Amino acid sequence: MTTDILRYAAFAHDPAGGNPAGVVLDASALDDAAMQAIAADVGYSETAFVTSRDGDRFRVRYFSPLAEVPFCGHATVATAVALGPGEHLFSTNAGEVPVLVDEAGTATLTSVDPHVSELATDDLAALLAALRWTGDDLDPALPPKVAYAGAYHPVIAVTSRERLADLDYDVPALTALMTGRGWTTVQLVFRAGADEFDVRNPFPVGGVYEDPATGAAAAAFGGYLRELGLAGGAATIALRQGDDMGRPSRITVRLDPEIKGVRVSGAAVPMVS
């Protein structure tokens, strides 16, 4: 049986930008091993698999080239845009994620409830060592924490854009640390303005050096900003990602005091075959 695999660039209007995602809209006949094999063959940071559908409710699972992940934002955006305009409800391993797609091909997901926890001193030291950074690189206004909105991401903010651009980490060391702590990516951040950030996301546990756009980490970062009082009750935050990789990605994060989840928006377009 042939499996139809769609390829989309998420968080971009140009297929040369954004984060590529594989999308399988009918994975009802695939077992775990088959989905993992497809994700490895596709080679993108994640491929989304719709394993069942009931009206506008979809069971969705996400696989990196190496393992299943509980939630993936950019593959959610890609899958929702592939499904077409309207309101969709994704049932993921992390919980239910509503997604609204407009006529222009922009998807807005609402994350599961976020939360923020402390980053242990020893873990911070190990993380900085793996990144080949030091405590002097850190922005004291944005303290290191672990943020969650469907997956766990340490948040590490630096004081200069140049430090963020100089990403050359110890792959085995960071992989071992992230695996041991259950972290999906590491959210590296530089604050470029009041509501504007440049971000990068190492993802060695998924078999990818770096993600060009990371919607799950964007949602977690929105929860981080809200919980630490670093963004207003109602705020719109612009994230730039992928520029250092040559795949510019633009992510919009919205905080609404009326809802616990974080809204993450972005476009998605088919990849050029």
Which residues are catalytically annotated? 46
Give me Rg for the CA atoms of the chain.
17
**Residue 170 CB contacts under 8 Å (≥ 6 apart), including other chains:** 129, 130, 131, 132
> Residue 179, SS3?
helix
Contact call for residues 197 and 238 (beta carbons, < 8 A): yes
Strands 68-69 and 57-63: antiparallel
**Residue 101 CB contacts under 8 Å (≥ 6 apart), including other chains:** 80, 81, 83, 84, 85, 86, 88, 107, 108
Q: What is the DSSP letter of 124?
A: H
* Tally of CA atoms within 13 A in the half-sphere of 255 that contains its CB: 23
> Residue 247, SS3?
coil
Rounded CA-CA distance 205/144 in Å is 20
